Amino acid sequence: MMHVSVEIRRGTDRYVTRERGHFTRHSFSFGGHYDPDNVRFGRLVCHDDHLLAGGAGFEDHPHQDVEIVSWVLTGALHHRDSSGHEHVVRPGEVQVLSAGSGVTHAETAGPGGATRFVQAWLTPEETGTPPAYSVTAAQLTPGALSEVLRLGDARFRVARLETGDVLTLPDEPLQHVFVATGALLRSSLAEPLSDGDAFRITERPGLAVTAAVPTELLVWTFGT
């Protein structure tokens, strides 16, 4: 039987990578930041909060057998990959790169200014598949949790809340709830949560949170 819990992960406690032109906060073990007790949550193995200076970013690098999902908060993210895809991803669009049998890609901020985006990596349900790419405009309902992507048992939802809005979280057994912008009021779950903080919820369906200020929540859920 799965242990019932609500774990709070503060943004100030996350692993940090600083390099010229970019600043990243990692939610899970990544590269030289190794923690054997924090390598994944369900299929989620990476949840990075990136801030890139204008024109800066990540030059060509390879991936294999991972689902890479990007959500832009501010600015514009320029994508290019070895399968011939080129796209500028903007707030309100979800980008999915299924690396499959292998792909090389580059990601840079537009020249107009800084870009902040959150990128999640998920283990695929099937390995060795042909690489695939998509960008989809999200249909968000104000004050509600809107589904923007489903990858098998993994569902990605976004909520844009106004001050005082109360949101009931989903029923799936595993939930990763990330405060991308804004803040949540103190509740029975925790002291107030702010930009960069997260809940990891196990077998606690239907919990409710309240926005202290205008807030954007990014929610990943997993069926098992």
Domain 14-137 has CATH 2.60.120.10: yes
Q: Tens digit of pLDDT for each residue in 131-150?
A: 999 999 999 999 999 999 99
3-state DSSP call for residue 10? coil
Q: Tens digit of pLDDT for each residue in 149-163?
A: 999 999 999 999 999
4 pLDDT higher than 70? no
Domain definitions of the chain by residue range: 14-137, 145-222
pTM reported for the whole predicted model: 0.94
| Pairing of the two strands 154-161 and 215-222 | antiparallel
Q: So what's the pLDDT on residue 187?
A: 82
> One fold for both 14-137 and 145-222?
yes
Tell me which residue of 1, 30, 37 sits closest to 16, measured CA to CA: 30
Q: So what's the pLDDT on residue 1?
A: 45
Q: Tens digit of pLDDT for each residue in 69-124?
A: 999 999 999 999 999 999 999 999 999 999 999 999 999 999 988 999 999 999 99
126 pLDDT higher than 60? yes
> Which two tokens mark 190?
């925790």
Q: How many CA atoms lie within 13 A of 39 on its CB side?
A: 7
Q: So what's the pLDDT on residue 44?
A: 97
Homologous superfamily of 145-222: Jelly Rolls (2.60.120.10)
DSSP β-bridge partners for residue 95: 70, 135
Tell me which residue of 212, 162, 157, 163 sits closest to 185, measured CA to CA: 212
Q: Tens digit of pLDDT for each residue in 169-220?
A: 999 999 999 999 999 998 877 789 999 999 999 998 889 999 999 999 999 9
> Is residue 80 within 8 Å of residue 92, measured between CB atoms?
no
3 pLDDT higher than 70? no
Q: Tens digit of pLDDT for each residue in 16-58?
A: 999 999 999 999 998 888 888 899 999 999 999 999 999 999 9
